[in-house]
């Protein structure tokens, strides 16, 4: 993705010192574009836990690079033990997203089976982390091309008028290494000259739609409007939404999808108003060992301060955090909800589009037929 005319990924190794991982600080957006250096394994843990990076694919890639930094800190005799400990620490930072566990386990499997000197093991860790990041970007690009076909059909049905797309949270390039999942088809359509307009949910309590999705769309030049989280149902009822597309943090083998809190309500409204509802994600988001998303997917509950306080820019240009409720009012803060498969029109993955059920998913991922929970 381009920022001020320069291409960036969301995570990469510093050119002058490949032992340092660099990220875009998502805490600073949309008011400041800032690059942070992660030079230790603990830096990576903090970056994931405190959401300097966020989004399913990017969390996975960051975990992979975290394992690389852990390899630089591991002892020669205790290498496998140190890496196993690092993987467990990473997996406990954000429990809902499947990509994080997938990436940490993949790195651990690769390195525990690698025979060689300490330096060769560390180089293997670097190369595997790079491979995971490159795969994430490539898969997201393919998601965009598959989703593009859906947008094309709607555009043709509307005789070239705007295709109005509602999305929730941020599943653009900031949530992955590049391109994104839910927004990848939007960018692909825009780049081909198809008229698209995005309704951007603000996505309380951390406002990822307002601060991240809107920022991305501004940078790419895509027409959009920021809307309150509760406006989606009204807009669908009045024919203002042609399709809904969101990302996902974990998808079961039966098609249930966990995504940012509030997604379930959009899916219900879409079903009621015959608006197609798609979920876009790379295969690393699948958890083929889980069947029922509502019963089995762990839902992260975050600190109540994210609900009780909000950060923004004042008229004077200062970034300030203010309290929005009475001093004594407590809050609960579930980060995700699960949308049952029956509300999902289709799943858009790097291998194509399928129905949100076990048969449809296995038609694309037949190698997972015997990998059920």
Active site residues: 249
Strands 319-323 and 309-313, sheet pairing: antiparallel
Handedness of CA 334, 177, 165, 282 (dihedral sign): negative
Is the bond preceding 205 in cis, omega lying within 30 degrees of 0? yes
Strands (E), 75-170: 163-167
Beta-ladder partners of 257: 251, 339
Q: Of 247, 230, 222, which Cα lies nearest the Cα of 164?
A: 222
- Alpha-carbon dihedral angle through residues 220, 199, 287, 340, given to the nearest 10 degrees: -170
C-alpha–C-alpha distance, residues 306 and 325, integer Å: 12
């Amino acid at each position: 993705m381009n920022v001020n005319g320069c291409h960036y990924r969301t995570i990469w190794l510093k050119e002058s010192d490949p032992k340092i991982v660099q990220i875009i600080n998502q805490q600073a957006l949309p008011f400041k574009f800032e690059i942070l250096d992660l030079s230790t394994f603990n830096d990576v843990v903090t970056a994931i836990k405190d959401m300097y990076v966020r989004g399913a694919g990017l969390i996975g890639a960051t975990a992979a690079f975290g394992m690389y930094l852990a390899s630089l800190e591991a002892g020669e005799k205790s290498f496998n033990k140190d890496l196993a400990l690092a993987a467990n620490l990473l997996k406990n930072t954000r429990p809902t997203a499947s990509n994080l566990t997938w990436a940490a386990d993949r790195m651990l499997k690769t390195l525990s089976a690698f025979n060689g000197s300490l330096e060769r093991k560390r180089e293997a860790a670097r190369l595997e982390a790079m491979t995971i990041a490159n795969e994430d970007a490539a898969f997201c690009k393919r998601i965009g091309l598959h989703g593009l076909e859906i947008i094309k059909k709607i555009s043709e049905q509307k005789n070239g008028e705007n295709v109005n797309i509602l999305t929730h949270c941020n599943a653009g390039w900031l949530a992955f290494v590049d391109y994104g999942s839910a927004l990848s088809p939007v960018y692909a359509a825009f780049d081909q000259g198809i008229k698209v307009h995005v309704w951007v949910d603000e996505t309380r309590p951390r406002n990822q739609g307002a601060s991240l999705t809107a920022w991305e769309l501004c940078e790419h030049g895509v027409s959009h409007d920021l809307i309150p989280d509760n406006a989606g149902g009204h807009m669908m009822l009045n024919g203002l939404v042609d399709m809904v597309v969101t990302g996902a943090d974990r998808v079961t083998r039966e098609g249930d999808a966990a995504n940012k809190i509030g997604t379930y309500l959009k899916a219900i409204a879409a079903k009621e108003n015959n608006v197609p509802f798609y979920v876009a994600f790379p295969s690393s988001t699948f958890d083929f060992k889980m069947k029922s998303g509502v019963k089995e997917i762990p839902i992260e509950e975050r600190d109540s301060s994210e609900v009780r306080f909000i950060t923004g820019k004042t008229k004077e240009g200062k970034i300030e955090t203010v309290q929005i409720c009475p001093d004594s009012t407590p809050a609960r803060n579930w980060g995700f909800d699960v949308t049952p498969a029956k509300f999902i029109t289709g799943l858009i993955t790097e291998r194509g589009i399928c129905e949100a059920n076990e048969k449809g998913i296995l038609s694309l991922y037949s190698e997972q037929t015997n990998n059920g929970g």
